[in-house]
Structure 1
Amino acid sequence: MAEKETNRGSDLQASLLSSSALQPPSPAQRLAIDDMLRLHAGEFGRWQLRHFVLTTLAWALEAFHTMVMIFADREPAWRCRFAGDCPPEQCGIPAGAWEWVEGSAASTVSEWGLICGQRYKIGLSQSAFFAGCMVGAGIFGHLSDSFLGRKGSLTIVCILNAITGILTSFSPTYWFYTAFRFLNGFGTGGVGLCAFVLATEPIGPSKRGVAGMSTFYFFSTGIAILSGVAYLFRTWRTLFVVTSLPSLLFVLLIIPFISESPRWYLIRRQTSKAMNLMRAIARCNGREISPEVTLKLDDEDDEQNSKESAQKAESGSIIDVLRSRRTRLRLILMICINFMCAVVYYGLTLNVVNLKTNLYLSVTLNSVAEMPAYVITAVLLDRLGRKPLGIGTMLLSGVFCLIGFFIGGAGMMMKTLRMVCGVIGIFGMAAMYNLLFIYTAELFPTVVRNAALGCVTQASQLGAILAPLVVVAGQSLPFAVFGACGIAGALLTCFLPETMNKPLYDTMVGLEGGERNFVR
């Protein structure tokens, strides 16, 4: 009897095992990266914090290479060699009758005599740098979306900056100096956008906005540090060497600890690498991803992934942005807004050299004064939304610049009022400049994000090229130009869509479908 029961139990167990073996395994849960971060890996944990800080240090390097011109191209103090009345300018004084207080090696102006009729060359070399930035932003914006990736592109631009910065210090003539400044700008143009996208793409949707806005703290801190470095190293050649070496140290000591973007892996169809990175993020954040969970692009069907979709994901470029009416309009608007923002921001910033105060202290205070704008925008970003905040900050800047234009008189009170209008103007425009990076990143999908950022960054650099020409027009007229740009930029922002709490799309197809569903 016992033997029969045993045999019956064995038959039942075998039957159950056999039937379970015939059942198909449970299908894997396929999630987009934003859902994977939100549900499993963590939106902003220890991994994202470390990665964000290390990557965004590159923004301080960008500040070094950009703002070094304020100190390298400054006009040092001079004095007459003989007793008697000393005119306010060197123009017309015999060459041997005056001398530079700090010697001819203090700046490019003193070494190559860029005064009087040669003063235009200062603006020419500075425009050459921003022209290089404009070209570099477009090229590296495309390359970072293609085979080089975000990390590879950031590595190359930092190496370029280190080499060209050091070569600049050996310039034998002014024209060599201008050429090297163009090459230095070529690398600098790609630093900010590559670092920004690489730092923010692994962050979850609810934390990405505030994190993106925080990148500008590193830029402002870099300017403040540069002021101290320039105070210690008073010759322009030494200053270029000292400000270029940190880019090389960044490549050797920081980049090996930075990871490639999981979104780039995914659009390149390297799903296993993307999943390995997501699991590493989850482990560092004290979480775990189930083996049944895997990644998918937002244009993929859960049943099958078409070959056409895969080709689209790998070949995304600025041409794809222009083909779509939705993204084409967004790109045109962002190009115009970034151009106007740059004219105002760099135009007001360059006025520092005209204040006739301590240059090192003025630049430091200017960089510190921008930080409250970043704090306010970071706090209000996810409360007001991107669009209302952008309209408000540009209007604030534009209105106060117009007020500065209508303030007349040369008295101390009038000068103080114009200075206050300028400070409020740069406060509002610094906030908008900060916002534009995260806003642009959210308006375009991963496959073309850096290419789009490259285009709008090129527009910013064009505005930076033209800003010095506006500044030399006098004291009042620049305020009118800045005010018009601020108000026009606010009006154009009205035509942009709101991106707050929307997903960060990966492909053009995913953006089109997701936007239609969101509207419904």
Structure 2
Amino acid sequence: MADPSPLLCQSHSRTDDQESSDQRSHKQSISSLDEIVEQGIGGFGWAQFVQAILVSLASLFDSQQSFINVYTEAEPTWHCLNNTTCSSASNICMLPKSSWAWDGNPTTTALTIISEWGLECSSAFIKGLPAASHFTGRLLGIVFLATLADSSLGRKNLLFLSCLTMSVATSLTIFSNNLWIYSLLRFFSGISRTTIGTCTIVLLTEKVGTEWRGQEGILDSFFFTIGTLTLPAIAYTNRSSSWRIIYLWTSIPTLVYSGLLYIFVSESPRWLFMQGRREEAVEVIKSLSPIRDSNQLSLSLVSAVSFRHEPAASSKESSFLSSIRELFVRRWALERTLALMVLGFGIGVVYYGVTLGIGNLGFDIYLGVVFNALLEIPSFFLTFFLIQKWNRKSSLLVLFIISGICSIMAVVANDISNAGKRMRIGLELASLFSAYIAYTVIFIYAIELFPTCVRNSATSIMRLAITFATIFSSVLVAAGSNNEFVSYGVFGLVIICCGFFVICLPETRGSSLCDTMDQQEHKDSVTV
């Protein structure tokens, strides 16, 4: 009787040969990390949707801390107690304390820090110290922390630590007993939240394929707007309570969210591959993949494990500033970085400047923020169309020019007649509407311009330019209180001039994401 084992072994051998042949052919078809990611998570399934929501929630809490000072550091209204020595037109600093009182709950005088610490007659420097401290913290955070997302910590860990420290700093702010401690805690809050915006959008876009990259970028901006809308609701509900209550209701949800983020959010598979942690990257792709065919997914993962790529940590010099240095060493990277900084400065001037200008038109302190946020909602629908149908360069150039022209025409319309003032408001809103769209598009554009190893750092540098634009625009708004051209006219000229720098950048719509500087350089040379 013949031994059946050889037949069995032969059968297994043929099967193994067939499988290995399939795997080899599949590996040969994959030439880059981007193709591995595209085949594994190129679609969009429920797992990716849940991850997108969890990551985007960070922007909601970040938005609340961006505008919380509007309510906690504002000067409350007051009323006279003695009409013989006091009138509503009187200078509060020239009146005795016994002749007037703050409006609101008579048992609660600490509606804001101004009323609690008696800062109503203090200098502009003292009143603006908390905001200046927060702004300084943001600048230092961008310079020293943003690169950690590209090097040692990664996107998820830095996002988690940023949200956690922001919630702790916000919670401790409740116990401030003087302006100096309050300003110090606002400084730490500024440092912690400065990396949330960049980590969020980078982590979102690196977990999906090219087809869904733009939609993920819009989701980040959408949740930022939701945060802007929920903050006035919290402040209005507690308008008769202490300013500490607002910090309480914004810090506790952030603390809970930090725990959820750490447990349920996964790291970027691109960053894991760059660090040489391929097995972890495979597990992330497996958990996110919408592919129904298990065989096809298995082949993709086998190719991913076998994919040869030197991790970023093996470079000759690996420090937390190495990614920043890479942006300024190579000429093409330097040109893109400088162009993005100019574009970011231009859009930041209008994005924040016009918002501050509208706030000075006498709108209600609660409704003013709500109206500005509601204006962003229709901009998302138009942005969704633009990123699918229009090129990045042409859409940004058109948006910059429209925003600038509307801002300049707002000054002219105001000088024509009283009826032109209504037209001026419409033109200001049109300028702001274009700026909202450009703000979202430019962040998606920045992500596509740079490889994985420096993507978060490059995006952070552009955000740094936007932050500097905030200073510039706020100064112009204050200087243009008696001359609109000094503010809105300059806004328009600046954004139009900055917009033409987009010509220096390459088009990226529909292109794959690169992962190393050499790969990006090779891709650009082939494209040219």
TM-score of the two chains, using structure 2 as the length reference: 0.88
Equivalent residue number for residue 505 of structure 1: 514
Contact 1:141 1:452 in 2 (8 A): no
SS in 2 for 1:259: coil
Q: SS of the counterpart of 2:515? A: coil
Q: Among residues 161, 170, 173, which one is paired with 1:165 in the alignment?
A: 170
How far apart are 1:91 and its partner, in Å? 4.6
- CA shift at 1:312, angstroms? 6.9
**Secondary structure in structure 1 of the residue aligned to 2:508:** coil
The answer to whether the 8 Å contact 1:224/1:363 transfers is yes
One-letter code aligned to 1:486? I
Query: Which secondary structure state, in structure 2, belongs to the residue aligned with residue 260 of structure 1?
Result: coil
> Which secondary structure does the structure 2 equivalent of 1:214 belong to?
helix
Written as runs of structure 1 = structure 2, the 5 A alignment for 1:173-322 is 173-234=178-239, 235-282=242-289, 285-288=291-294, 289-294=296-301, 310-311=314-315, 317-322=323-328
Amino acid at match of 1:151: K
Distance 1:197 1:15 in 2: 50
**Partner residue, 1:459:** 465
**Displacement of 1:319 after TM fit?**
0.8
**Aligned-pair distance for 1:468?**
2.2
Return the alpha-carbon distance in structure 2 between the equivalents of residues 464 and 518 of structure 1: 36
Per the TM alignment, residue 36 of structure 1 is displaced from its structure 2 partner at its CA by 3.0
> Counterpart of 1:135 in structure 2: which amino acid?
L
Tell me by how many angstroms 1:272 deviates.
Answer: 1.4
Closer, same or farther: CA 190–170 of 1 in aligned 2, 3 Å: same
Q: 1:376-455 residue pairs with structure 2 within 5 A?
A: 376-409=382-415, 412-455=418-461
CA distance in 2, matches of 1:255, 1:11: 53
Listed one character per residue, the Cα deviations across residues 158-199 of structure 1 (whole Å, up to 9, x for unaligned) are: 111111112222222222222211111111111111111112
Greater CA deviation, 262-271 or 78-87?
78-87
8 A contact 1:442–1:504 mirrored in 2: yes
> Are residue 354 (structure 1) and residue 360 (structure 2) matched?
yes
Q: 1:311 is aligned with what amino acid?
A: S
Indicate if the aligned counterparts of 1:77 and 1:101 stay in contact, CA closer than 8 A.
Answer: yes
SS at match of 2:513: coil
Structure 1 residues 108 and 347, CA gap change in structure 2 (3 angstroms): farther
Is the Cα contact below 8 Å between 1:216 and 1:434 reproduced in 2?
yes
What is the distance in 1 between the residues matched to 2:423 and 2:9? 91
* Of 25-34 and 178-187, the range deviating more from structure 2: 25-34
What is the aligned partner in structure 1 of residue 89 from structure 2? 87
1:237–1:35 Cα change, 3 Å: same
Please identify, of 104-113 and 199-208, the stretch whose mean Cα deviation from structure 2 is larger. Answer: 104-113
- Per-residue Cα deviation, 1:122-141 (whole angstroms, up to 9, x for no partner): 43422321221222133332
Structure 1 residues 110 and 348: CA distance shift in structure 2, 3 A: farther
2:101 is paired with a residue whose SS is strand
Distance 2:156 2:5 in 1: 59
Q: Output the CA distance in 2 between the equivalents of 1:211 and 1:19.
A: 45
The answer to whether 1:482 aligns with 2:487 is no
How far apart, CA to CA, are the structure 1 residues paired with 2:427 and 2:99?
41
CA distance, structure 1, for counterparts of residue 164 and residue 97 of structure 2: 41
1:492 lines up with 2:501 in the alignment: yes
Shift of 1:374: 2.1
Amino acid at match of 1:482: F
1:350-381 CA deviation, whole Å, 9 max, x = no partner?
Answer: 23542323221221121011111222112111
Judge which range, 29-38 or 287-296, deviates more.
287-296
Please give the alpha-carbon distance, in whole angstroms, between the structure 2 residues aligned to 1:309 and 1:241: 41
Q: Note the C-alpha offset of 1:98.
A: 2.5
CA change 1:100–1:51 in 2 (3 A) is same
User: In the superposition, relative to structure 1, how do residues 352 and 231 fare at CA in structure 2: closer, same or farther (>3 Å)?
Assistant: farther
**Distance change in 2, residues 1:21/1:485 (3 Å):** closer
Give the SS at the match of 1:158.
helix
Contact 1:139 1:454 in 2 (8 A): no
Matches within 5 A, 1:2-81: 25-26=20-21, 27=24, 29=27, 30=30, 32-81=32-81
Alpha-carbon distance, 1:116 to partner: 5.3
On the 8 A contact 2:410/2:488 being kept in 1, the answer is yes
Q: Which moved more, 1:169-178 or 1:429-438?
A: 169-178
Shift, 1:400, TM fit? 1.0
Q: Is 1:32–1:295's contact at 8 Å kept on the other side of the alignment?
A: no
Partner residue in 1 for 2:524: 515
SS in 2 for 1:341: helix
TM-score (norm 1): 0.89
Judge which range, 57-66 or 378-387, deviates more. Answer: 378-387
Identity, in percent, stands at: 29
* Deviation, structure 1 residue 157: 0.7
Unaligned runs of 5+ in 1: none
Find the aligned partners of 2:194 and 2:9 in 1 and give their Cα distance: 68
Structure 1 residues 261 and 295: alpha-carbon distance in aligned structure 2, compared to 1, 3 A threshold: farther
Q: Which amino acid aligns with 1:265?
A: L
- Structure 1 pair 432–22 and aligned structure 2 pair: CA distance change class (3 A): closer
Cα 1:24–1:421 shift into 2, 3 Å: closer
